[in-house]
């Protein structure tokens, strides 16, 4: 009997890469691969990369260097690079790192079986095209294995916004939406295999237009599917939050009261330089409209500190916006230039100033996050349990608001959705008891 080949995938970056890695593993399953959690055991190593963070390409080369001894010991080991760094620097990766057998961009990974076969014949394979065909149509149907209670589901890819700091339009391409009927088919399949919560993914997910009523229409259709208990979506752009989607936050019970809505800065001057195409006041007005229909909505955001030409006054405007919103969670980063983007050519803020501003912003965001989490004590919330905790009899899950919650009780299992009362607020989680 032929032994299955082992595939090790290391995933960097966003939830969309997590979803893509799942589909890559499924695509290679037809070639006889099964996943392993150890690179040392693998017959194929695949790095699914992200180009958003600082020095992304250098980190990929560093990771590849760690596999040199594995390749020497096992010459038949195949090593591949996928994702956004692959898209941006595919030919350079092939030139700089001879141990790489294949490079594939995020829009071409449905072709992985062909590329793997080519690499198996000793020919290095590179595919960073933006193919005309829909990759999702060409991917194999998902295997019917049991799934955990939560899943990601990509519905939209690409970006047409061209923010001055961002490489996504160049690595993921133009905005494109999957047809609603195909999304619904995949969602029903996930639900049949045990999924109770689906997070809809897209670079600008609320720009989704594969349904005649946009993302709100898709959410309402999903909410009517028996067995699906929770719906979330990420990541949104403020300019694509239409009236129907705002209304859905108030009248769709399965749409969870948590929204990731990046603003990046609070200064109108910097927002204009970023090409965000909205003002701070427009963002705050949008938040007000959302909270009018869902007062308990928890907000998450993204912030870039030290964008080129940012002054102390510009940064103070960001702090003022954060104070006005009150975030439940947020992601904040120092600006780092991305070659080929407009902002990379502009006068840069000194690193010491970036560091100091980032510390101040993160301190404020941490205070807000902790205050909102502490305010949960005494409240009842629903928790979808996902896995056993560290202590005997403990189960861990997520609340409606995406807080990590742990409960110690008999009989709980992954996939259970239960009401709990919050007892304590810890540094990163809530302790609760079943109601």
Can you give the pLDDT of all 435 residues of the chain as single tens digits? 568 899 999 998 888 888 889 989 988 988 889 999 999 999 999 999 887 666 777 888 899 999 999 999 999 999 999 988 888 888 899 999 999 999 998 888 888 899 999 998 889 999 887 766 666 666 666 566 678 999 999 999 999 999 999 988 888 888 999 999 999 999 999 999 999 999 999 999 999 999 999 999 999 999 999 999 999 999 999 999 999 999 999 999 999 999 999 999 999 999 999 999 999 999 999 999 999 999 999 999 999 999 999 999 999 999 999 999 999 999 999 999 988 899 999 999 999 999 999 999 999 999 999 999 999 999 999 999 999 999 999 999 999 999 999 999 999 999 999 999 999 999 889 999 999
Task: Residue 354: give the domain boundaries.
Answer: 291-375
3-state secondary structure the chain: CCCCEEEEEEECCCHHHHHHHHHHHHHHHCCCEEECCCHHHCCEEEEEECCCCCCHHHHHHHHHHHCHHHHHHCCCCEEEEEEHHHHHHHHHHHHHCCCCCEEECCCCHHHHHHHHHHHHCCCCEEECCCCCCCHHHHCCCCCCCCCCCEEEEECEECCCCCCCCCCHHHHCCCCEECCHHHHHHHHHHHHHCCCCEEEEECCCHHHCCCCCCHHHHHHHHHHCCCCCCEEEEECCCHHHCCHHHHHHHHHCCCECCEEECCCECCCHHHHHHHCCCCCHHHHHHHHHHHHHHCCCCEEEEEEEECCCCCCHHHHHHHHHHHHHHCCCEEEEEECCCCCCCHHHHCCCCCHHHHHHHHHHHHHHHHHHHHHHHHCCCCCEEEEEEEEECCCCCEEEEEECCCCEEEEECCCCCCCCEEEEEEEEECCCCEEEEEC
| 52 within a domain of the structure (yes/no) | yes
Contact 52, 12 (CB under 8 A): no
Q: Are residues 20 and 70 in the same domain?
A: yes
How much is the pLDDT for 136?
A: 67
pLDDT at 133: 61
Asked if residue 64 and residue 117 are part of one domain, the reply reads yes
Q: Of the residues 256, 274, 302, which one is the last residue of a structural domain?
A: 256
Determine the pLDDT at residue 279: 98
Give Cα separations from 158 to 103, 195, 204, 394 (angstroms): 20, 26, 7, 40
Rounded Cα–Cα distance for residues 320 and 322 (Å): 5
When divided into structural domains, the chain yields a total of: 4
163 is in an annotated binding site: yes
* 84 occurs within a structural domain: yes
Residues 390 and 328 in one domain: no
Do 325 and 360 reside in the same domain of the chain?
yes
**Structural domain includes residue 210:** yes
Residues 226 and 149 in one domain: yes
Looking at the structure, tell me whether residues 117 and 147 fall in a common domain. Answer: no
Residues 173, 191 within the same domain:
yes
Residue 365 in domain: yes
CA nearest to 234, candidates 200, 208, 267, 257: 200
Question: Domain holding 308: CATH number?
Answer: 3.30.750.200
336 and 403: one domain? Answer: no
- Which residues have C-beta within 8 Å of that of residue 270, sequence separation ≥ 6? 307, 309, 310, 314, 317
This prediction has a pTM of 0.84
Whether 412 and 362 share a structural domain? no
Is there a single domain that holds both residue 145 and residue 117? no
* Residue that terminates a domain, selected from 200, 232, 256: 256
Residue 1: what pLDDT? 57
> How many CB atoms lie under 10 A from the CB of residue 421?
14
Would you say 50 is a known binding-site residue? yes
Are 105 and 156 in a shared domain? Answer: no
Count of residues for the chain?
A: 435
Residue 173 domain-assigned?
A: yes
Residue 280 falls inside a structural domain:
no
Residue 275 lies in a domain: no
The CATH number of the domain holding residue 414 is 2.40.50.140
pLDDT, position 372 = 96
Residue 252, annotated ligand binder? no
Q: Does one domain contain both 29 and 53?
A: yes
Q: Is residue 268 a part of any domain in this protein? A: no
End-of-domain residue from the set 127, 152, 173 = 127
């Amino acid at each position: 009997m032929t032994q299955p080949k082992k595939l090790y995938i290391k995933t960097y970056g966003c939830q969309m890469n997590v979803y893509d890695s799942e589909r890559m593993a499924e695509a290679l399953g037809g070639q006889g691969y099964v996943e392993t959690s150890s690179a040392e055991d693998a017959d194929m190593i695949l790095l699914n990369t992200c180009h958003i963070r600082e020095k992304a390409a250098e980190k990929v080369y560093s990771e590849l260097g760690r596999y040199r001894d594995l390749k020497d010991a096992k010459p038949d080991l195949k090593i591949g690079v996928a994702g956004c760094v692959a898209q941006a620097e595919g030919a350079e990766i092939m030139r700089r790192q001879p141990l790489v057998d294949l490079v594939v961009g995020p829009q071409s990974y449905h072709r992985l079986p062909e590329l793997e076969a080519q690499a198996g014949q000793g020919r290095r394979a590179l595919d960073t095209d933006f193919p005309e065909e829909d990759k999702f149509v060409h991917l194999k149907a998902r295997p019917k294995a049991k799934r955990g209670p939560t899943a990601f589901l990509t519905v939209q890819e690409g970006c047409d916004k061209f923010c001055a700091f961002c490489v996504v339009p160049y690595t993921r391409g133009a905005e494109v939406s999957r047809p609603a009927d195909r999304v619904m088919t995949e969602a029903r399949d996930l639900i049949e295999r045990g999924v109770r919560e689906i997070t809809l993914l897209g670079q600008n997910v609320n720009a989704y237009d594969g349904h005649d009523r946009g993302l709100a229409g898709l959410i309402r259709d999903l909410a009517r599917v028996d067995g699906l208990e929770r719906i979330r979506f990420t990541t949104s752009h403020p300019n694509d939050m239409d009236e129907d989607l705002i209304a859905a936050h108030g009248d769709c019970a399965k749409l969870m009261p948590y929204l990731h809505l990046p603003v990046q800065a609070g200064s109108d001057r910097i927002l204009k330089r970023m090409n965000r195409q909205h003002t701070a006041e427009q963002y705050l007005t949008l938040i007000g409209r959302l909270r009018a229909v869902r007062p308990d909505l928890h907000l998450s955001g993204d912030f870039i500190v030290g964008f080129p030409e940012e002054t102390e006054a510009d940064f103070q405007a960001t702090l003022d916006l954060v104070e006005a919103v009150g975030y439940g969670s947020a992601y904040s980063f120092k600006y780092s230039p991305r070659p080929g983007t407009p902002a990379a050519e502009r006068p840069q803020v000194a690193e010491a100033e970036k560091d100091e501003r980032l510390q101040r912003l993160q301190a404020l965001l941490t205070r807000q996050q902790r205050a909102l989490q502490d305010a949960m004590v005494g409240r009842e919330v629903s928790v979808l349990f996902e896995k056993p905790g560290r202590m005997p009899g403990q189960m861990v899950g997520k609340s409606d608001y995406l807080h990590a919650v742990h409960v110690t009780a008999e009989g709980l299992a992954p996939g259970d959705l239960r009401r709990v009362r919050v007892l304590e607020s810890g540094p990163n989680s809530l302790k609760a008891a079943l109601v």
